[in-house]
Structure 1
Amino acid sequence: MINIPLIDDTLAVRAVFYNDNRGGYIDNVLGTRDASESARFRPEGTVRANGVPVSANRAGFQSQADLSNVTFLEADNSGLVEEDFNDTSYTGFRTSAYWAINEDWSLTVAHARQSLESDGVFFTDPELGDMEIQRFEEDELEDDFHNTSWTIEGRLAMLDVVYTGAYTDRDTEQRVDYSDYLFAGQYLPYYICDSSVTYPGSAAPSGTCQPPNLFVDSETDTTVQTHELRFTTPDDQRIYATVGGFYSDLTLKERNDFTYVNSVNADIFGSPGFFPNFPFTTGFTSDPGPFPDGVIFRNDVKRTDEQYGFFGEATFVAIPDTLSVVLGARYYDIEVDLEGGANGSFCNSFQPDINAFGTDISDQFNGDGQFTFRGSCDTSLHQTFTQGQTLDEIMAAGLSEAQAQQVLNALSAPDKAATDGVIFKATLNWTPTDNLLFYATYSEGFRPGLLNRPGGAVGPNNFTVPFALDTDDVENYELGWKMDLFDRSVRFNGNAFYVKVDRLQTTIFDPSITNLFFSDNAANAEIFGVEGDVTWFPAAIPGLSLYGGFSVLDTEITDVLTPTNDVVEGSELAFAPGFQGNLRARYEWTVMDDYTAHVMPKLVYSGASWSDIIEINKARIDSYTTLGLSAGITAANWSVEIYGENLNDTVGQLSNSFVFDRERITPIRPRTIGLRVGFQI
């Protein structure tokens, strides 16, 4: 870090440069797999590792087939075996400049750039050894961003004025091993097996299934600009207020190429591989095609989020320094738009590309009252229908009832996911003494709605993927306190709260409905909780300070909204441990008059929780406890510290995922011992 005063009390700059290289700790170990493990061949009733049996509507298409005449070639990752393969490096800088224009006005401008490079993955397979995974394609990430922000502060008569803005541009290039899709994707064998295996007619399956190693090439380009202006009246009055406005504009362009490496070798109806594939041309596309060899699916989308809001907050001081009431409100108006395509190669096995199946997102969400049916390999059925036509009229064009219903659904798709409204908050603050503060708060919040790429897809129990999601809304009731006790040697801050959640937005992966992730307003829920932190400076032991924090949660799904059995009333919310806590003790003492030494042990505990509320996707996240210790010496212009994290080397679980029917656990970093050295010049 460098601080440079250019003009005393007027202009100064600051710069921070960093290069952070973090070693890996997960091993990619030797393994093989073949297409016989596909969900296509898995029978009803099979109990998966998360304890949820395979239901009748998710049983494999060929679960009863005799596969004895099928040759399954193995994917082998021997060329990728590596210890500690998930290393990461961060390189970047931050600069800022402050200009005191005059006594009333100032300007702060900041700029930051960062480049992130990472290999491997940060999750493991609990069926293998600790910190081990089997990956069959390279995992790589390059993530670059730059951000510029500016803030103007000043006064207009009696008003304090703050305007702040920011612009961010972020680009990522990523390659992800997608081979785990084998365990959940029933259609995968169609693309890598001979057609005599997947569509044998009345005969038993025979032929060859190629190795099931898959990967995704992903590119994103995100730009965001934000602007906020606020005015505040003097806070030395009995009534003072802050009012302002906010605007943001986000554009995300994302292209994902799902590459089935060995699809080019499969004998599909007498031909090797698939004909070249091209994107839909209705609207946005980042590349005219054809897709690279082996790319079976491409998602190529542009999403825009535009929002503006106005807010205000007023404080009424009923009793100076003792009792006050704060009332606030926010108006919001948000629009989310989506265009592009999610294109596949289903019909390209026996004919040149006709843009069949997939989702023409631009057509679906352009709001023009028309929709072109593409769900058939027969191009004579690729007809355009108009809003107002009946189911019978659509079927008269040659479509089945299910196909006609798909068209009818798409004709009612919205142009955008749009929402607006007002949320409120109110707080009562009571300060009976200088050392005590109590407050009661009511507040509201929400998350904006969004559009689903696979909107309209039909699943079991008459479930239809919604084209657009509603907001999910929360009401929060909170009682809190801040206490300085025992001559201010103890500080205890905390709160107790109840949160009511309506229309909880949840991401779902269910290949029996669609091969894309989608979202739904799945449930209502409630949360009861208490959290707090304590600091104690024992007067009897100068230099000693003790810290502790805790969180207690009781969460529950109270109503199921999605019309399937994938969410269970009474179950817990995801990532909500019943108890979390931490303890730290820091002791400082003087050494040879010029130095300050310290030692600090710590303990962290997190209780068990669940990774999801969707039964087929959820897995248990186990509890864990970690121990840490640091010790060091600080002088006037230098410091040195040795530290140890996770000294008990527990395999604590930060997260768990079961979306591909296999547990993938994200562990905490294993035992880490290091040295920190700092200088001031």
Structure 2
Amino acid sequence: MKKYLSGASLIAVSAVICTAANAQVDQIVVTATKRAENAQDIPVAVQALGAETLEENRVDNFTDYLVQLPGVTAGGSGPGQNTIYIRGLASTTPNLTTAGVAGLAPNVALYLDEQPLSQPGRNLDVYAVDLERVEVLPGPQGTLFGASSQAGTVRLITNKPRIGEFEASASSSIETTKGGEMSNKFEGMLNIPVGDSFALRVVGYIDDQGGYIDNVPGTRDASESGRFRPEGTPRANGVPVSAQRAGFQSTSDLSGVTFLEADNANLVEEDFNDTQYTGFRASALYQINDDWSVTVMHARQDLEADGVFFADPELDEYDIQRFEDDRLDDDFHNTSWTVEGRIGALEALYTGAYTDRDTNQRVDYSDYLFVGQYLPDYICDYEVVYPSGAPMGTCQPPNLYVDSVTETKVFTHELRFNTPRENRLRATVGAFYSDLELTERNDFTYPGALNIINSDGSTGIGALPPNFPLTNGAATAGQIGNESDGGYFSDPGPFPDEVIFRNDILRTDKQFGVFGEINYELVPNVLTLTFGTRYYDIEVDFEGSANSAFDRLFPTTDSNGQPVESQCCGTNISAQFAPGNPFGAPDTASTDGFIFKGNVSWTPTDDLLFYATYSEGFRPGLLNRPGGAAGPGGFTVPFAIDTDEVTNYEIGWKMQLFQNQLQLNGNAFYVDISRLQTTIFDPSITNLFFSDNAANAEIMGVEGDVVWAPVALEGLTLSGAFSVLDTEIKEVLTPTNDVLAGEELAFAPNFQGNIRARYEWDVSNNYRAHIQSQVVYSGSSFSDIIEINKAKNDAWATLSASAGIHADHWSLEVYGENLGSTYGVLANNFVYDRERVTVLRPRTIGVRLGLTY
């Protein structure tokens, strides 16, 4: 029976085995060029974690494989809330409360087998169970993989059903974390053959991860608001903030104001960041005949998380103060199908997929207090905000939260053909289409707004008007279907009085592409030229509203006679991205064009490969909610931002030495970045997040991996990988002093690396034992390129170790992660002028039992 390997993206090598007879580095067949080829024979830079490496390092989720891959970093704040970055091509800290409204398109493509899963704002956190490998293809991959592969591609490759073989396995573990709770998990797999042409594979898992972050007692009041604390004032008068954050009454005498405290006493809890992954995956393979097969897969996962996964460096390690409940329910189901076979001499493949993801999240928004210039307008009496004499009155407790509901639906289709691989002239051609629809509703809730006293003596700000009509003058507010041309996506109301802002947005991203790559062996088996191109047509659209409730009367000057009109939020602040909108914004952010790739590879011997690559990548633009807002220096927030583009120059090498006992792979690269997109929160311009093409930048780097399996030391394997980066902003395009030339890019450590040693030996004819140790290091980096939003992530190193024994049908292992309890900072968020560091789990010791049949 003939089997054709499919592959919608890269693949790579890093699974290393040692055989008793002859220690060698194992070779893996990969599909980095969308053809099945030996990984060492393709001129592509690759990092990967093979099935054995995943098992040996107990990789289960996003953070587990992130720390194993030098050059790959992430911004975010916990499970289901991360954005992937490769080679330091990053600019900003993701903001989950506006992910759909203002989230940049991802610049790293995340694949599950043949289908892209990349989504704005937050990537799917797919549990890594029963995987064949996790693969990373760094550098622009746009010709074969499209817009979201500007900086690289990450692909999760699942194990497929196996015809004619019955397999069963189960694994269970229990762990204890220093200063935290117990964790436990169970995974099970069945591969069931049905006749000679059909097989079914089913995988299930449940992983309960105990918490390790403590919500500690604390109080907070509105005197700490950016509105009330000028830069340089002592803490007793309010914590200093950036001058760009300070409110227009920051120098007011507040001695007559009563500040009511927010107190988190009823929320205090140790180890409050519990997480549970629950899910299954079922796949079926039908071999129609020797030439054609069909594979169908359905996966379902529910991720539930409580609390937060970041800490406050001003408190004790792993401590935070939260004043409202934080919780996340992230559920997705995914169905994919692949048909592959042969049409004459051509290998053909069609693949499609549908993904539906729902997230319900509640986020404590109280940190907005520190930069919320206008927060007192919502939680303080009128006489505090606009005093007729000395400020007097009451400010309510600043406990704020956001209720966020999102639904993301994605359809993808790809059709491609390969000419025979034995020809000197080979080609891969195809077409791709995707349609993403993201509905997001965020309710910004200020409970204290119910108790403020207005200028006329009334109490409370007033309810948010239901779906304020924007483009349809004859519309009835609150009547669904006639508010505007764009439509709305939530109930018509009335909304809760304490909901002060509501973002209600539909975002659609549509992408069409035609791609091709041609290889020609100029000198057979020695010198090969490659040329690739892609035509793309992408359209990003917003429809919806951003409404506010604010019923009090506003003066035009403050107590000193200074104008305050422009400082205030106004009534019914709304934005509508739809035809005929009154603000003059474009209907869509659209782009089309071509990108190119060129490569020359030289194979002087079977064990040596050298290559040089030129490649291009891009990311689509998007629309801005506060388009047209005026900032300092004549800057105006653009209604739409342009694509950002990268040009990559790279040389690389792959070497197998000493009869394949030693493998050395590496590359050096230079990346030129034009019109780098970033998200900016600068209240001196507008009180909303907006995006802009902020700068031109460059990246230089070297990365590589080494594997040594010496014959003289049978059973020993040494492996390691590293990444060296030098990033710099060369030219600033946004004239607001938010970005500075000469600074580094975000999430770009100068050095990352790991080294692992594993030794296996036979205890008897039936038992084999192992010991293993690994060190992972990450250098320091910054969390943003926006000066007022960035903080430094300190360097860290961590040690893990394991020891175990296995027989034909069972295994037992004891292991330890982060043995030194390193307080390793994975990400940092300083958007609200307070550091919030996402850190590694403290020392964790566990035992794992595995069974196979």
TM-score > 0.5 by shorter chain: yes
Task: Name the structure 2 match of 1:224.
Answer: 410
Give the AA of the match of 2:443. D
CA apart distance, 1:366: 2.2
Task: Name the structure 1 match of 2:612.
Answer: 440
Task: Name the structure 2 match of 1:150.
Answer: 337
Instruction: For residue 712 of structure 2, give the secondary structure of its aligned residue in structure 1.
Output: coil
CA apart distance, 1:305: 0.7
Instruction: Tell me how far apart the structure 2 counterparts of residues 291 and 114 of structure 1 sit (CA, whole Å).
Output: 32
CA apart distance, 1:59: 3.2
Moved more, 484-493 or 119-128: 484-493
Q: Give 1:528-677 correspondences, 5 Å limit.
A: 528-677=700-849
Task: Name the structure 2 match of 1:289.
Answer: 493
CA apart distance, 1:473: 0.2
Indicate yes or no: 2:512 matched with 1:308: yes
Indicate yes or no: 2:230 matched with 1:16: no
Give the AA of the match of 2:268. V
Instruction: Tell me how far apart the structure 2 counterparts of residues 196 and 327 of structure 1 sit (CA, whole Å).
Output: 69
Indicate yes or no: 2:567 matched with 1:361: no
Instruction: Tell me how far apart the structure 1 counterparts of residues 609 and 767 of structure 2 sit (CA, whole Å).
Output: 38
Which of 273, 277, 301 is 1:90 aligned to?
A: 277
Instruction: Tell me how far apart the structure 2 counterparts of residues 140 and 348 of structure 1 sit (CA, whole Å).
Output: 33
Task: Name the structure 1 match of 2:81.
Answer: none
**What is the RMSD of the two structures over their aligned residues, measured on CA atoms?**
1.6
Instruction: For residue 551 of structure 2, give the secondary structure of its aligned residue in structure 1.
Output: helix
CA apart distance, 1:538: 2.3
Indicate yes or no: 2:2 matched with 1:2: no
Task: Name the structure 1 match of 2:439.
Answer: 253
Indicate yes or no: 2:522 matched with 1:318: yes
Segments ≥4 residues shifted beyond 6 Å: none
Contact 2:312 2:836 in 1 (8 A): yes
Task: Name the structure 2 match of 1:407.
Answer: none
Moved more, 507-516 or 81-90: 507-516
Instruction: For residue 263 of structure 1, give the secondary structure of its aligned residue in structure 2.
Output: helix
Task: Name the structure 2 match of 1:429.
Answer: 601
Give the AA of the match of 2:524. P
Q: Give 1:85-484 correspondences, 5 Å limit.
A: 85-201=272-388, 203-269=389-455, 270-277=457-464, 278-280=466-468, 281-282=483-484, 283-285=486-488, 286-347=490-551, 357-362=571-576, 365-368=577-580, 371=582, 410-411=583-584, 413-484=585-656
Instruction: Tell me how far apart the structure 2 counterparts of residues 464 and 131 of structure 1 sit (CA, whole Å).
Output: 41
Indicate yes or no: 2:276 matched with 1:67: no
Give the AA of the match of 1:279. N
Contact 2:595 2:616 in 1 (8 A): yes
Instruction: For residue 655 of structure 1, give the secondary structure of its aligned residue in structure 2.
Output: strand
The structure with more radius of gyration: 1
Instruction: Tell me how far apart the structure 1 counterparts of residues 653 and 535 of structure 2 sit (CA, whole Å).
Output: 29
CA apart distance, 1:511: 2.3
Give the AA of the match of 1:361. A
Instruction: For residue 41 of structure 1, give the secondary structure of its aligned residue in structure 2.
Output: coil
Instruction: For residue 711 of structure 2, give the secondary structure of its aligned residue in structure 1.
Output: coil
Listed as ranges, the gaps of 5+ residues in structure 1 are 372-409
Instruction: Tell me how far apart the structure 1 counterparts of residues 801 and 426 of structure 2 sit (CA, whole Å).
Output: 47
CA apart distance, 1:460: 2.3
Task: Name the structure 1 match of 2:661.
Answer: 489
Q: 1:600-633, CA deviations, whole angstroms, 9 ceiling, x for partnerless residues?
A: 1110110001000000000000000101101111
Distance 1:639 1:349, change over 3 A: farther
Distance 1:162 1:638, change over 3 A: same
Q: 1:263-295, CA deviations, whole angstroms, 9 ceiling, x for partnerless residues?
A: 101112211112222222223222211221200
Q: 1:323-355, CA deviations, whole angstroms, 9 ceiling, x for partnerless residues?
A: 1111100000000110111111123579xxxx9
Instruction: For residue 414 of structure 1, give the secondary structure of its aligned residue in structure 2.
Output: coil
Give the AA of the match of 1:217. D
Give the AA of the match of 1:367. P
CA apart distance, 1:461: 2.3
Instruction: For residue 684 of structure 2, give the secondary structure of its aligned residue in structure 1.
Output: coil
Distance 1:60 1:497, change over 3 A: same
Instruction: Tell me how far apart the structure 2 counterparts of residues 163 and 596 of structure 1 sit (CA, whole Å).
Output: 43
Moved more, 668-677 or 173-182: 668-677
Moved more, 449-458 or 471-480: 449-458
Give the AA of the match of 2:487. F
Q: 1:362-417, CA deviations, whole angstroms, 9 ceiling, x for partnerless residues?
A: 3xx3233x51xxxxxxxxxxxxxxxxxxxxxxxxxxxxxxxxxxxxxx32x21100
Instruction: Tell me how far apart the structure 1 counterparts of residues 334 and 836 of structure 2 sit (CA, whole Å).
Output: 33
Task: Name the structure 1 match of 2:171.
Answer: none
CA apart distance, 1:518: 1.4
Indicate yes or no: 2:714 matched with 1:502: no
Give the AA of the match of 1:258. F
CA apart distance, 1:640: 1.3
CA apart distance, 1:474: 0.3
CA apart distance, 1:53: 8.1
Instruction: Tell me how far apart the structure 1 counterparts of residues 588 and 223 of structure 2 sit (CA, whole Å).
Output: 42
Contact 1:230 1:244 in 2 (8 A): yes
Contact 2:229 2:240 in 1 (8 A): no
Instruction: Tell me how far apart the structure 1 counterparts of residues 284 and 242 of structure 2 sit (CA, whole Å).
Output: 61
Q: 1:11-53, CA deviations, whole angstroms, 9 ceiling, x for partnerless residues?
A: 00000011111111100000000000000012145699xxx98
Instruction: Tell me how far apart the structure 2 counterparts of residues 462 and 211 of structure 1 sit (CA, whole Å).
Output: 37
Instruction: For residue 40 of structure 1, give the secondary structure of its aligned residue in structure 2.
Output: coil
Instruction: Tell me how far apart the structure 2 counterparts of residues 147 and 319 of structure 1 sit (CA, whole Å).
Output: 45
Contact 2:294 2:339 in 1 (8 A): yes
Identity of aligned residues (%): 67
Contact 1:341 1:359 in 2 (8 A): no
Give the AA of the match of 2:382. S
Give the AA of the match of 1:74. E
Contact 2:721 2:755 in 1 (8 A): yes
Give the AA of the match of 1:584. R
Contact 1:73 1:210 in 2 (8 A): yes
Contact 1:646 1:669 in 2 (8 A): yes
Instruction: Tell me how far apart the structure 1 counterparts of residues 699 and 339 of structure 2 sit (CA, whole Å).
Output: 40
Instruction: Tell me how far apart the structure 2 counterparts of residues 63 and 184 of structure 1 sit (CA, whole Å).
Output: 12
When normalised by structure 2's length, the TM-score is 0.72
Instruction: Tell me how far apart the structure 2 counterparts of residues 538 and 674 of structure 1 sit (CA, whole Å).
Output: 30
Contact 1:273 1:349 in 2 (8 A): no
CA apart distance, 1:459: 2.2
Task: Name the structure 2 match of 1:390.
Answer: none
Instruction: Tell me how far apart the structure 1 counterparts of residues 232 and 217 of structure 2 sit (CA, whole Å).
Output: 30
Instruction: Tell me how far apart the structure 2 counterparts of residues 56 and 535 of structure 1 sit (CA, whole Å).
Output: 52
Moved more, 514-523 or 609-618: 514-523
Listed as ranges, the gaps of 5+ residues in structure 2 are 1-188, 469-482, 555-568
Instruction: For residue 36 of structure 1, give the secondary structure of its aligned residue in structure 2.
Output: helix
Q: 1:228-255, CA deviations, whole angstroms, 9 ceiling, x for partnerless residues?
A: 0001100100101010100000111100
